Amino acid sequence: NVDAPIKNEVKLIASYGNTPGDHFVTKGMAVSTLFLMLVALESALALKTIEPTKYDKIVKELQKAVRKIDEARVATEKFYEEHKIMMWQMERVMVLGAGPSYADAMEGALKLTETYGCSANAVEVEEYCHGPQCEVKKDTTVFFIDAAGGKSSERIHQVYGVTRFLTDRAVVITTDENFDAPYVIRMKDDKIEEEIAVLYEVVPFQYLSDIICKDERVTSISREVRKFDRYIGNKTLNIK
């Protein structure tokens, strides 16, 4: 929002663009994240804190990740068509990630809460094993974000396996062709670094949040929430 009040306090404003009508930013989050990555990358090159060869390698990785965004959407659409009743029945949700994918877990939980209105929270996979797992019941939906080849991938596999004792509603987002699971959103493994894979690993939550609300004709925006927002501004347009 180039007209936000902060424009009066800064020297430079850059607009990365967004999708018109995307009220909950279910489509624009990956764009804003990529923008910040590129800002950091270009700054590092200008300051000569990164070698040109490494710069070129990272740019190629980012290009590969962007091309996978549509693949992630298609994979999620296929999953949703096969399991939409299960998705409509989500009440209590946990989203698990580790390392870079924990950021996707936080965004995924936020999107499910603020759109569909279910109770969702993000949990780091090791933290999950020290208490939060006790909350999981048979009707709890637990999403696992598996960055195949990443440092925590093996641990994600282990925790997923034992979570199946607690609930049948465990969903895996992965590029691992060998991850055997009844509920899986699977993409091809293009050997993308886990720090960059976050760009497309978040897509399933964006798509699910959007399509579930459209199909179920629901929104978490109620009169009470509107009253809350009127008095406690959380966006630049209504902050007094």
Q: 209-216 contacts: CB < 8 A, separation 24 or more?
A: 209/24, 209/26, 209/111, 209/112, 209/115, 209/116, 210/26, 210/27, 210/115, 211/77, 211/80, 212/80, 212/84, 212/87, 212/88, 212/115, 212/116, 213/115, 213/116, 215/84, 215/88, 216/88, 216/116
pLDDT at 114: 87
| Neighbour count for residue 202 (Cβ, 10 Å) | 27
pLDDT in tens, 25-80: 556 678 888 989 999 999 999 999 999 999 999 999 999 999 999 999 999 999 99
**Both structure tokens of 31:** 């764009």
pLDDT value, residue 128: 97
* pTM confidence score: 0.87
Rg from Cα positions in the chain: 19
Asked if the model's pLDDT at residue 88 lies above 70, the reply is yes
Whether 221 has a pLDDT exceeding 70, the answer reads no
How many of the other CB atoms lie within 10 Å of CB of 11?
A: 4
| Distance, C-alpha 170 to centroid of its chain | 17
Please report the pLDDT score of residue 26 as a whole number. 57
Tokens 């055997």 belong to residue: 180
Which of 22-26, 160-164, 210-214 is least confident?
Answer: 22-26
Query: Which among 95, 111, 112, 119 is positioned nearest to 172, based on CA atoms?
Result: 95
Nearest-angstrom CA–CA distance, 156 and 40: 29
pLDDT digits 0-9 by tens, 136-193: 999 999 999 998 888 899 999 999 999 999 999 999 999 999 998 999 999 999 999 9
pLDDT greater at residue 153 or residue 5: 153
**For a pLDDT cut of 70, what percent of the chain falls above it?**
88
Is residue 39 within 8 A of residue 13, CB to CB? The reply is no
Residue 126 has a pLDDT of 96
pLDDT digits (tens, 9 = 90+) for 58-68: 999 999 999 99
Are 158 and 146 in contact by the 8 Å Cβ rule? The answer is no
pLDDT band at 208 (very low <50, low <70, confident <90, very high): very high
DSSP letter, residue 112: I
